[in-house]
Structure 1
């Protein structure tokens, strides 16, 4: 039991509680302790009956059943693996920045869910975080089923194709990719390559609640800003899904 406690406490803060609430609410819904209907995102009770908890529970709850149990476990694996890598990598020492990105991705999932009638938000939310990590680690080699290996930048699209072929789905994955791409663009591409303002900078009160630390991680690097050129000048410039390996010492 102490080994489990040590492992649990070693998981980064936001990843730990995201995974914990996901497992707890999904189990509660699975055994009918509380009707799962109260956990899903439904426009009418949310707007007209003021059931304001639904956008939050829709993020953590996933309907576990004989046909969805394996998919739930895979989602938990991706959540744990890639959220942890981001939190201890690119966002190491900057908990408010990571939390603000999660809030942005979640808000996008909620808005899209209300518009298109999406009751469960786990799939697009997990894929959006995975997509950001993959963009920050494009050249990391990841492994998929049957020993296939490819660069991390292709992993979200492989998952999209895989679910499209196996289950006839793919919509959730596509939404997650779009949300993740928007977050990555606003966090890195827009301010660094296009010279725009940092639109996803957390407000001061979040920095006060989750102050920066001095710890610096080693997973992922931010895209390099474009270097302005002078006239006439030059610029030099079991399965283990998604378990990354770097080539060439990345």
Structure 2
């Protein structure tokens, strides 16, 4: 138990609680302790019944069943792996900035979910965070199923194609890619390459709640204005499902 506690405490703050709420709420729904209908995104229930918790529960809840359990575990893996890398890497020492990016992605997921009638937000939210990491680590080589290896910039599209072939889905992955691209553009591309304002700078009150620290991480670097990206990156070691090593790494 102490090993689990040590591991749990080592997970960065926002990733820890995002993963905890996702697993906890999904298990409560799986065992019938919470009603599925009251957890999903529903415009009528929000507006007419004032059930304002639904945009949050639709993010953390995932309907676990014999047919969806494996997909849920993969989503949890991606959530833990890539959210942790961003929080301890590009956003290391800047918790308010990472939280504000998560809030923006979540708000986009809620807006699109209400627009297209999407009741569960886990897939697009996780894919949006994964997409941002992949854009910050374009030249990192990742390993996927059957020994396939490719640059991280292609991973979101491989996941989209994989789900399209295996389950006939792909819509939620595409939405996650679009939201992640918008977030990445506003965070890095627009202010650095086009000279625009930093539109996703967190407000002062968030900086007071989550003040910057002196910690510096090393998982990915922000793109530089009008400077071609050079191959290379952090070495993570080899395993499946999108964790990889830098191009040319040892």
TM-score range, shorter chain: over 0.9
For residue 205 of structure 1, what is the aligned residue in structure 2?
205
Q: CA deviation at 1:116?
A: 0.7
Deviation at 1:249, TM superposition (A): 4.8
**Structure 2 matches for 1:92-131, cutoff 5 A?**
92-131=92-131
1:86 alignment partner in structure 2: 86
| Shift of residue 225, structure 1, vs aligned partner | 1.3
**For 1:118-157, what per-residue CA distance to the aligned partner results, in whole angstroms no more than 9, with x for missing partners?**
0000000000000000000000000000111000000000
Q: Which residue of 1 aligns with 2:29?
A: 29
Give runs of aligned pairs for residues 186-205 of structure 1, distance below 5 A.
186-205=186-205
Indicate yes or no: 2:158 matched with 1:149.
no
SS at match of 2:142: strand
Q: What SS does structure 1 have at the residue aligned with 2:99?
A: helix
Residue 36 of structure 1: how far off its partner (Å): 1.1
1:11-65 CA distance string (max 9 Å, x none): 0000000000000000010011011111100110111110000000000000000
Query: Hey, what's the Cα distance between the residues in 2 that align with 1:106 and 1:90?
Result: 19
8 Å CA contact retained: 1:40, 1:61: yes
Give me the whole-angstrom Cα distance separating, in 2, the residues matched to 1:190 and 1:170.
28
Aligned counterparts of 2:217 and 2:76: Cα–Cα separation in 1:
23
- Tell me which stretches of 4 or more aligned residues in structure 1 moved more than 2 Å: 247-250
Q: Distance in 2 between matches of 1:225 and 1:151?
A: 21
Conserved 8 A contact 1:145-1:239: no
Tell me the secondary structure at the aligned position of residue 120 of structure 2. Answer: coil
Query: What TM-score do you get using the length of structure 1 for normalisation?
Result: 0.94
Q: Secondary structure at the match of 2:27?
A: helix
Report the equivalent of 1:133.
133
Residue of structure 2 equivalent to 1:232: none
Counterpart in the other structure of 2:178: 178
How many Å separate the matches in 1 of 2:47 and 2:65? 29
Deviations 1:171-199 (A, max 9, x none): 00000000000000000000000000000
Structure 2 portions without partners, runs of 5+: 231-237
For 1:120 and 1:224, locate their aligned partners in 2 and report how far apart those are by CA, in whole Å. 35
Instruction: Judge which range, 32-41 or 131-140, deviates more.
Output: 32-41
Name the structure 1 match of 2:233: none
Corresponding residue SS for 2:244: strand
Bigger radius of gyration: 1
Cα distance in 2 for partners of 1:187, 1:125 equals 17
Match of 1:246 in 2: 246
| Cα RMSD after superposing both structures | 1.6
